[in-house]
Every structure is written in C-alpha cells, then in structure tokens.
Amino acid sequence: MRLTRQTNYAVRILMYCAANDAPLSRIGDIAKAYSVSELFLFKILQPLTKSGLVESVRGRNGGIRLGRTADKISLLDVVKVTEDNFAMAECFENDASECPLVDSCGLNTALRKALGAFFEVLAGYSIEDLVKSRPSINFLLGLEEQSAAPAA
C-alpha cells in the first residue's frame, strides 16, 4: 500500500502544529519548513478542517491549530480523511472483477487481513508519538528560532 502525497503532508501539517508552542501555526511557516507551496497546503487543509482534525482561525493574526490534542489524533484518523481508496487489488473495488472466485478467494481474504493489520498499526500511533519521539523536531522545523523571538 502506498499513501498519497496528500496524506504525507497532512501528517506533516499536524506534526508541525503539535510541535509548535505558539497558539497558532501559519501556513506560510509550514510551507517554508517543508519547502512546498502554500496553495498545496491549503488544499490539504480542507479535509483536515472539515473532519475536525484542524481548526482554522481567520483574520490578520489567524492561523491553524490542532482540532484536538495531538495524543487524540491517530495516524489512522489522518489516513481515513485523506485517502480516497484502500483497494489493494481489483477484488476490493466496487465493480469487482469478473473473477469467479471473487466471493471465496483466499487472496481476497489475505489482503483484507493485511489491510486490517495496517489500520491497526496506524491506530496505535498518534501525532504526539511522532513529535515526542524526535527531540530535535522543533529545530528541524525552524520552530526554535520562532520560539526564541520576543512576543509582540
């Protein structure tokens, strides 16, 4: 199974927000940290905001923040919001193949079991787990410089 670029950056956005000590994170800062366009991140934010994983605060001093604490957002939550399809083979799709074994195939059973295990592992990791396990994450994301700046 290969996750999309959207899922990858959705996790990164959430990690940035979790690592950031400031009350709000700015899209421009996140885009700079990951060297991607703001427009790309805005597209990813739509499903994250709609699902409640991220809250958006509008206005001049606006930004984004986690919709719930980082320990309450699992990787599975993110993947379910950002991925459109979990079909590992033709058999998983709505218009299942014309294979006569589609309802009693051992491969289909094995792949469903593998997908279930994949989901179980993702459910076992939170955004907090990803951030707290990397003590240098604030430095790598450029957040230490921001944190050291005096408040205006």
Tens of pLDDT, residue by residue over 70-109, are 999 999 999 999 998 887 766 666 555 667 766 677 787 8
Residue, of 89 and 127, whose pLDDT is higher = 127
Residues facing 66 on adjacent strands: 54
> Are 119 and 111 a contacting pair, CB within 8 Å?
no
Determine the 3-state secondary structure of 56 from DSSP.
strand
Q: How confident is the model at residue 151 (pLDDT cuts 50, 70, 90)?
A: very low
pLDDT at 49 (0 to 100): 97
Model pTM score: 0.83
Determine the 3-state secondary structure of 106 from DSSP.
helix
Give the other-Cβ count within 10 Å of 111's Cβ.
Answer: 17
pLDDT tens-digit series, residues 12-48 = 999 999 999 899 999 999 999 999 999 999 999 999 9
